[in-house]
Amino acid sequence: MGQSQCRSCGTTLAHTFVDLGMSPLANSYIKPEQRSRMEPFYPLHVYVCSACLLVQLEQFSSPHDIFSDYAYFSSFSDSWLAHAKRYVDMIADRFQLGRDSKVVEIASNDGYLLQNFVARGVPVLGVEPAANVAEVAKQKGVNTTVAFFGEKTARGLVTDGWGADLIIGNNVLAHVPDLNDFVKGLKVLLKPTGLITMEFPHLVQLMEQNQFDTIYHEHFSYFSFLAVEKVFARHGMTLFDVEELPTHGGSLRIYARHAQDSSKPIGARAQDLKAREEKAGFGRLDHYLSFGPQVEATKRKLLSFLIAAKQEGKRVVGYGAPAKGNTLLNYCGVRTDFIDYTVDRSPHKQGHFLPGVHIQIHSPEKVRETRPDYLLILPWNLREEVMEQMAFIRDWGGKFVVPIPEVKVYP
């Protein structure tokens, strides 16, 4: 494969942000009968563009491989459901969205968010590529169409009368291989005075909190505010506001409008974040090149902890089977030699094995049966929720371990 081009501005990619070696697709959980089959591994080599400073992964797998039968249902996390409801209440009040408004959500999953608009009588349309997940949304009464979003889909939606007052995209922008086609689609679908909100993990948090495990093949782009602003500007759109959110280890919610829509002036939060990113070095290439060595040090710390625990005869099990856990375990080479099994609340994952490392996924009950010494929390962003749910491990002296930003044991 020749040199890749930046998916935003087309510049040849020559600088490594971090190289996590070869890894399987993070959501390709293995069924018991597939355990002896060969698995495809792809490079997790992340580049930074020297021109627009977009941090990105090359595309290897097609989105159809990843998203057509998807194992992630948003409704299994209580905190995520609450987050979605708060958003709907806030945005509907702030921009007076009512029965005459049209709201379109891209990658609407199982309708977990749009159901809140439906309850308010606001017309909605979900655009969701995974048919199995879209079906669940339809059963909840959430109007959903099965499609991948881009310029072509957007034109079809406008023809069908779905020009939007509000377009929502939560954790989808980072998952788009053809970024320019996607943003062009947003521009086409948006009414002249409409707005777009998008949420995605914030690159500043990824670097400061050492969250390298949030890098996986489904996440093609890793955005700072400075980089994402350039992406939207290229398509005649302006970011006029931004919120910094605690979700997914630290996310941004950006607010975009057509460049010529003067009804939404650029606010203080957007100006402030831009200034802070500049000051922290996110406008300079050298800042991005410091990340790799930091990640290698974290791998050594996690392995040191696990080796010491095993040498003392301790039992370690995992909690959760999130995509980020698969990146972490594959990069660190952690298999059943270190972790007996992992547990997950989602029945869609139980009985399967983690890709690459083949650690089996059980229901959380298994922890009570086997009484391990350590519970390694793989979805560290839900640390509080997990420690509350699993507090009973303290009955036998069990402890929690969180691997990111660095290995920490909680008694």
Domains of the chain: 66-288 (3.40.50.150), 302-410 (3.40.50.720)
- Percent of the chain whose pLDDT exceeds 90: 86
Q: For the ranges 58-67, 230-239, 241-250, 260-269, which has the lowest average pLDDT? A: 58-67
Question: Could you say which DSSP state residue 165 is in?
Answer: E
Q: Write down the pLDDT at residue 74.
A: 63
The average pLDDT across 231-248 equals: 95
Confidence at 26, pLDDT banded by 50, 70, 90: confident
Residue pair 365/388 in contact by the 8 Å Cβ criterion: no
Task: Give the H or E element holding residue 237.
Answer: strand 237-245
The average pLDDT across 329-344 equals: 97
Instruction: Flag whether pLDDT at 365 surpasses 50.
Output: yes
Q: Write down the pLDDT at residue 69.
A: 52
Instruction: Flag whether pLDDT at 65 surpasses 70.
Output: no
Give the residues across from 353 on adjacent strands.
30, 360
Report residue 41 as tokens. Answer: 């591994």
The average pLDDT across 333-348 equals: 96
Residue pair 40/66 in contact by the 8 Å Cβ criterion: no
Nearest-angstrom CA–CA distance, 47 and 114: 35
Q: Write down the pLDDT at residue 23.
A: 94
Report residue 198 as tokens. Answer: 């998008």
Report residue 218 as tokens. Answer: 């489904």
Instruction: Flag whether pLDDT at 77 surpasses 80.
Output: no
| DSSP class per residue in 346-376 | -TTTTT-B-TTT-PBEE-THHHHHH--SEEE
The average pLDDT across 304-329 equals: 96
Q: For the ranges 124-128, 130-134, 327-331, 395-399, which has the lowest average pLDDT? A: 130-134
* CB atoms inside a 10 Å sphere around CB 161: 9
Instruction: Flag whether pLDDT at 347 surpasses 60.
Output: yes
Q: What pTM does this model have?
A: 0.87
Question: Could you say which DSSP state residue 214 is in?
Answer: G
Q: For the ranges 268-272, 293-297, 333-337, 393-397, which has the lowest average pLDDT? A: 293-297
Instruction: Flag whether pLDDT at 110 surpasses 80.
Output: yes
Q: Write down the pLDDT at residue 139.
A: 94
Q: Write down the pLDDT at residue 168.
A: 98
Residue pair 344/361 in contact by the 8 Å Cβ criterion: yes
Cα 56 versus chain centre, distance: 14
Cα 205 versus chain centre, distance: 13
If you average pLDDT over every residue of the chain, what do you get?
Answer: 94
Place of tokens 């089996």: 360
Confidence at 329, pLDDT banded by 50, 70, 90: very high
Q: Write down the pLDDT at residue 1.
A: 45
Q: Write down the pLDDT at residue 249.
A: 79
Q: Which amino acid is at 300?
A: R
Q: Write down the pLDDT at residue 79.
A: 82
Q: Write down the pLDDT at residue 27.
A: 83
- Percent of the chain whose pLDDT exceeds 70: 95
Instruction: Flag whether pLDDT at 259 surpasses 80.
Output: yes
Residue pair 73/136 in contact by the 8 Å Cβ criterion: yes
Q: For the ranges 36-50, 59-73, 200-214, 219-233, which has the lowest average pLDDT? A: 59-73
The average pLDDT across 241-248 equals: 91
Q: Write down the pLDDT at residue 196.
A: 98
Confidence at 248, pLDDT banded by 50, 70, 90: confident
Residue length of the chain? 411
φ, ψ of residue 353 in degrees (nearest 5): -120, 150
Nearest-angstrom CA–CA distance, 338 and 318: 10
Tally the C-alpha atoms within 13 A of residue 86's C-alpha that lie toward its C-beta: 8
First and final C-alpha spacing in the chain:
49
Does 326 or 68 have the greater pLDDT score?
326
